[in-house]
Amino acid sequence: MKLQRKNRLRALSLGAVAVTGALALTACGSDDTGDTGNGESTAANSAIKCDDAKGELLAAGSSAQKNAVDAWVKAYTASCKDVRINYNPNGSGAGITNFLQGQTAFAGSDSPLDAEEIAKSKEVCKDSQAIDLPAVGGPIAVSYNLPGVDGLVLDAKTLAMIFNDEIKTWNDEAIAKLNPEAKLPSTKIQTFHRSDDSGTTDNFTKYLKAAAPENWKYEGGKAWEAKGGQSANGSSGLAQQVSQTAGAISYMELSYAKDAQTVKIKTAAAEPAEATVDNATKAIGEAKVVGEGNDLALELNYEPKTDGAYPITLVTYEIVCEKGNKAETLAATKSFLNYVTSEEGQAILKDASYAPMPEEIITKVRTTVAGLS
């Protein structure tokens, strides 16, 4: 027994050493990114008006915009030292729930509030209601692993058929027709989707449903509905599967697909569009505002005609009360959102592989933020 206890102690201490080692390593890692972030923030500081903002700002929601919020928070809190912002990327659903329960100052979400949630928000917003403010966009890249075949072109219909298991090999006629010059191998197509519920899945399938209604007949939502295909946890899990599986194809936020081959999407425009930050902004430019009043919920156009507009795009919203925000956090919320929607705030998005909002939309958001009370 004594021997065993000693062993356990030893095991524990070794574990502790390993953990501290790992911590030290991650600390180094975040330091590195911190340096570049600080470099940018000093340039952006001019745009930040702290006013009389202070205190702790709690927010929660979409993990898709986490890196964008992190970049904003870093730049903002460097200037406004009296404000501490704590964004918990616990998922859009959980974020909205927290907000509706009055636990957070604002929520981040991959999709606008539905009618039921707006009705519920009247409680926390004291007779006013919650509104959606589009603040960040992001292209969802379709990445694949096919050595020797770069710049693959696909359209919505072919994508739907691939993810529906109707097209099974890479040298299928439908793919060959879109890529007359590529040497397509007869490799089996292995599709991967998210195993966890995700706004990325929601937006990707929304695109398939809107642009290829004949071939994609599922209802849509955060869970993957099509049968067949393999799955993995999180965008990082998908990126890893694509990188190690020949013949794999999957969808993920652009930042995860940096090292992989990505598909160019054929749209109504003359040339197929590549998944880039600028091309996503172009596509969001064709979106319609469908929210009522100051609610700026967008409806994306999935068959954009602008040259280069990349149609598979996700817009994330910041959700706040139009009126009736809590007095103690109002100043900080307004000041932070002012920065977020400013030119500087939007400009730093590109470095994190996010797409800034097009000028026309962000101007409306700015006006709305100025009127929050």
Partner 1 sequence: MDISTQDAPVPPPTTTPTAEQKRAARGATRPGDRIFLGLSRGSGILLLVIMAAIAAFLTYRAIDAISADEANFFTAFEWEANSTPPRFGIAVLAYGTIVSSIIAMVIAVPISVGIALFITHYAPRRLGGLISYVIDLLAAVPSIVYGLWGALVLVPNLKGLYGWLDAYLGWTGIFSWQGLEPRSLFAVGILLAIMILPIVTNVSREVFRQAPQMHQEAALALGATRWEVIRMSVLPFGRSGVISASMLGLGRALGETMAVATVLSPNFLIEASLLDGGGGTFAQNIASKFGEATETGRDALIASGLVLFVITLLVNGAARMIIARRKEYSGANA
Q: How far apart are CA 100 and CA 117, in angstroms?
A: 8
Residue-wise over 221-249: b if at least 16 C-beta within 10 A, else e? ebebebeebebbebbebbbebbeeeebbb
Of 61 and 324, which has the nearer Cβ to partner 1? Answer: 61
DSSP 8-class letter at 214 = T
103 binds partner 1 (CB under 8 A): no
Q: From the CB of 197, what's the least distance to partner 1, in Å?
A: 4
Among candidate residues 239, 243, 233, the one with its CA nearest the CA of residue 251? 239
Task: Name 56's bridge partners.
Answer: 84
231 binds partner 1 (CB under 8 A): yes
Each residue 145-184 as x (binds partner 1 by CB under 8 A) or -, in order, gives: ----------------------------------------
Q: How far apart are CA 308 and CA 271, in angstroms?
A: 7
Of 63 and 325, which has the nearer Cβ to partner 1? Answer: 63
The piece of 26-34, 217-225, 322-330, 353-361 that touches partner 1 (CB under 8 A) is 217-225
197 binds partner 1 (CB under 8 A): yes
Interface residue with partner 1 among 41, 65, 92, 164 (CB under 8 A) is: 92
Q: Could you tell me the sign of the dihedral formed by the alpha carbons of 134, 198, 102, 112, in that order? A: positive
Q: How far apart are CA 166 and CA 161, in angstroms?
A: 5
Residues 54-73 that bind partner 1 (CB under 8 A): 63
Of 191 and 281, which has the nearer Cβ to partner 1? Answer: 191
Interface residue with partner 1 among 2, 81, 183, 227 (CB under 8 A) is: 227
Q: Contact 355/284 with Cβ under 8 angstroms? A: yes
The piece of 209-217, 218-226, 332-340, 347-355 that touches partner 1 (CB under 8 A) is 218-226
Q: From the CB of 245, what's the least distance to partner 1, in Å?
A: 6
Q: Which residue has the tokens 């280069």?
A: 308
Q: How far apart are CA 269 and CA 320, in angstroms?
A: 36
The piece of 28-36, 88-96, 204-212, 250-258 that touches partner 1 (CB under 8 A) is 88-96
Q: Could you tell me the sign of the dihedral formed by the alpha carbons of 195, 198, 202, 208, in that order? A: negative
Q: How far apart are CA 70 and CA 47, in angstroms?
A: 17
Each residue 104-143 as x (binds partner 1 by CB under 8 A) or -, in order, gives: ----------------------------------------
> DSSP for 264-285?
EEE-SSSSPBP--HHHHHHHHT
Interface residue with partner 1 among 225, 271, 292, 299 (CB under 8 A) is: 225
Instruction: Identify the helix (H) or strand (E) that includes residue 202.
Output: helix 199-211
88 binds partner 1 (CB under 8 A): no
Interface residue with partner 1 among 129, 145, 190, 203 (CB under 8 A) is: 190
CA 151 to chain centroid: 24
Q: From the CB of 112, what's the least distance to partner 1, in Å?
A: 15
Of 8 and 305, which has the nearer Cβ to partner 1? Answer: 8
Q: How far apart are CA 92 and CA 107, in angstroms?
A: 8
What count of Cα atoms within 13 Å lies in the side-chain half-sphere of residue 242? 29
Q: From the CB of 67, what's the least distance to partner 1, in Å?
A: 17
Q: How far apart are CA 336 and CA 330, in angstroms?
A: 10
Q: How far apart are CA 252 and CA 73, in angstroms?
A: 24
185 binds partner 1 (CB under 8 A): no
Q: Contact 284/361 with Cβ under 8 angstroms? A: yes
Of 201 and 279, which has the nearer Cβ to partner 1? Answer: 201
Q: From the CB of 190, what's the least distance to partner 1, in Å?
A: 6
Interface residue with partner 1 among 80, 105, 107, 232 (CB under 8 A) is: 232
Interface residue with partner 1 among 49, 168, 177, 188 (CB under 8 A) is: 188
Residue ranges binding partner 1 (CB under 8 A)? 3-4, 7-8, 10-12, 14-15, 63, 90-94, 97, 188, 190, 192, 195-199, 219, 221-223, 225, 227-233, 237, 240-241, 244-245
